[in-house]
């Protein structure tokens, strides 16, 4: 009986660990900031944490969209 409880406890600990790890990786990849180029009217995204970014089409540096 003790062996069964240890195995179940191990599975629960591994489940919590991998669930938190996968959620952190998913959220990091999902967080993006939207930009709108005022020169060529192109919408694009960049990783979170950037306030300005160059347009991939024309190279004009734009500020992020704020809603």
Q: Which residues contact 37 (CB under 8 A, 6 or more apart)?
A: 43, 44, 55, 57, 58, 60, 62
pLDDT digits over 26-43, tens only?
A: 877 778 899 999 999 999
Q: Kind and range of the H or E element at 47?
A: strand 43-47
Q: Are residues 41 and 65 in the same domain?
A: yes
- Confidence band for 15, pLDDT divided at 50, 70 and 90: very high
Q: Mean pLDDT for the chain?
A: 90
Q: Are residues 22 and 49 in the same domain?
A: no
At which residue do the structure tokens 């089409």 appear? 57
Q: Are residues 66 and 39 in the same domain?
A: yes
The first and second tokens of residue 8, run together, are 């179940």
Q: Are residues 66 and 36 in the same domain?
A: yes
* Calpha distance 13→66 (Å, rounded): 40
Q: Are residues 1 and 20 in the same domain?
A: yes
Residue span of the structural domain in which 49 resides: 32-67
Q: Are residues 10 and 37 in the same domain?
A: no
Q: Are residues 42 and 56 in the same domain?
A: yes
């Amino acid at each position: 009986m003790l062996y069964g409880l240890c195995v179940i406890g191990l599975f629960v600990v591994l489940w919590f660990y991998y669930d938190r790890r996968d959620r952190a990786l998913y959220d990091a990849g999902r967080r993006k900031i939207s930009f709108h180029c005022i020169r060529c009217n192109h919408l694009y995204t960049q990783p979170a944490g950037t306030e300005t970014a160059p347009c991939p089409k024309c190279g004009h540096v734009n500020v992020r969209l704020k809603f």
